[in-house]
Amino acid sequence: MSSTRLPSKELAEHLLVPYVSTERPLPTLFMDVLAPAHGGPWPPLFFFHGWHQNLLNARPRAKALAQRGFCVLNLNLRGRGGTVGEPDANGWEIRDASDALAAARQIYPQLCSDSQHPRGFGASGGGGNILALVGKCPDLLASAVVWCGVSDYARWFEWNEKGNYRDEMERWIAPNPREHAEAYRSRSGLTVAPNRICPLKIFHGKDDDCVPVEHARAYAEAQKGQPDRDTGAAPFEYVELQGVGHEIPDAPHLKQAAAFLLAHDKPVYVPPRGRWVVAGFLKTHYFEIAWDHAGLVGSIDIDLRRRRLHLDCPSSIAAQVRLAGPVKDPEVLDPAPEGSRIVCVRQHRGWTVLDVLLRKKPLGLRW
């Protein structure tokens, strides 16, 4: 199926579809699955709702994107709208997108393509979700579009003196960024901006009075001078809209967003060697890293060809490393910090899982 095929005007609308999270805890979550009723399957598109919202608020725009030739997975984040699960602001909640995709492909194969790679769209708080997803799951999306997204939660907290957005940040992240700077950095897309390898387009109104335009400008600045990875530099576009506030009008910008997402439809690949920022966790098709808390920030240097991995997180006591496929005789590289070791090695659903004791010190592994 070509993504350039004209979609039918009639939509298939499957609302509040349940799916099960594979992450902790294990709640049943919900999404809408919206797609043209005929001519599919269509490329999947993750749609993240805004701050203080749930999937009901996002449904009209999600339907509008579905009309343009996508199978839109309109996600309801954990704990929103009275549903189960604990919200955690770009922690484990954004990994639920992978489970939503698996469920949609299984339940609605006639609508959600198994061969075309997912795209991402989010505005405001949902844009912040996309910026985090691009950096924490760098090879998940073929491309993404962000409208007026939150890139730096500490910046947003300090700016929001009225406190109408601080309420959830205080509950979901930490009481304030001055005393909990790392927790706020771990949730921010700006922190993992160096990890981006998928095409990304950002729209932001210059007169935005909810998420100041400095969020987009800071992210765009972070993209300058980034070293090209083995796959080459992925396209990045930033459009600053003059005379526009927080509510970006659908016309003509939704058409432009859809065109970008349809044009950038190729999979992206994590290079076999590189350095990555790990903000809570890093999830790729070949390896995954998670610190012992979603609010921690560290880094890894990995060489898949030489089977070497160096972990560094000054705040983490332990980490979990997941490597695709079977691994034979993993071990700690010398010199091993005192007390650091591999605690457990096990196989789980095609992955080799290593539970590692770091004790807040850098640690090297080979396998």
Any alpha helices (H) in 36-159, and if so which ranges?
A: 55-66, 96-107, 125-136, 153-159
**Are 280 and 250 within one domain?**
no
Do 172 and 255 sit in the same domain of this protein? yes
| In-domain check, residue 3 | no
Q: Are residues 259 and 316 in the same domain?
A: no
Per-residue pLDDT averaged across 41-46, rounded?
A: 98
In order of 16, 115, 141, 186, 350, the CA distances from 269 in angstroms are 32, 16, 10, 23, 19
Q: Evaluate if residue 230 carries a pLDDT over 80.
A: no
% pLDDT > 70, the chain: 96
Q: What is the CATH number of the domain that holds 324?
A: 2.60.220
Same domain, 253 and 302: no
Residue 268 lies in a domain: no
- Read off the pLDDT of each residue in 194-206 and give the average, rounded to a whole number: 98
User: Tokens at residue 319, please?
Assistant: 């980490």
What's the pTM? 0.95
pLDDT at 3 > cutoff 50: no
**What single-letter DSSP state applies at residue 112?**
B
Please report the pLDDT score of residue 61 as a whole number: 98
Give the relative orientation of helices 250-263 and 55-66 as an angle to the nearest 10 degrees.
Answer: 70
What is the Cα 130 distance to its own chain's centre?
Answer: 5
My answer on whether 258 and 327 are in the same domain is: no
Distances (CA, A) of 309 to 131, 304, 344: 25, 8, 17
Mention every residue, 6+ apart, whose C-beta is less than 8 A from residue 350: 324, 325
Do 239 and 279 fall into the same domain? no
The answer as to whether 4 is a domain residue is no
Task: Determine what percent of the chain is predicted with pLDDT higher than 90.
Answer: 89
- Helix/strand/coil for 69: coil
* CATH number assigned to the domain comprising residue 249: 3.40.50.1820
Structural domain contains residue 353: yes
Q: Do residue 241 and residue 284 come from a single domain?
A: no
Cβ contact 333:361 at 8 Å? no
Instruction: State the total domains in the chain.
Output: 2
pLDDT recorded at residue 314:
98
Are 65 and 210 in a shared domain? yes
Amino acid occupying residue 98: S
Contacts of 2 (CB under 8 A, 6+ apart): none
Domain that holds residue 73: 11-263
Q: Are residues 254 and 277 in the same domain?
A: no
Q: Is the pLDDT of residue 88 over 50?
A: yes
Same domain, 38 and 78: yes
- Has residue 6 been placed in a domain? no
Per-residue model confidence (pLDDT) at position 81: 83
**Residue range 258-282, pLDDT digits in tens:** 999 999 999 999 999 999 999 999 9
Domain boundary among 231, 263, 295: 263
Per-residue pLDDT reduced to its tens digit, 27-42 = 789 999 999 999 999 9
Residues 257 and 280 in one domain: no
Q: Which of 215, 231, 263 is the last residue of a domain?
A: 263
pLDDT in tens, 282-316: 999 999 999 999 999 999 999 999 999 999 999 99
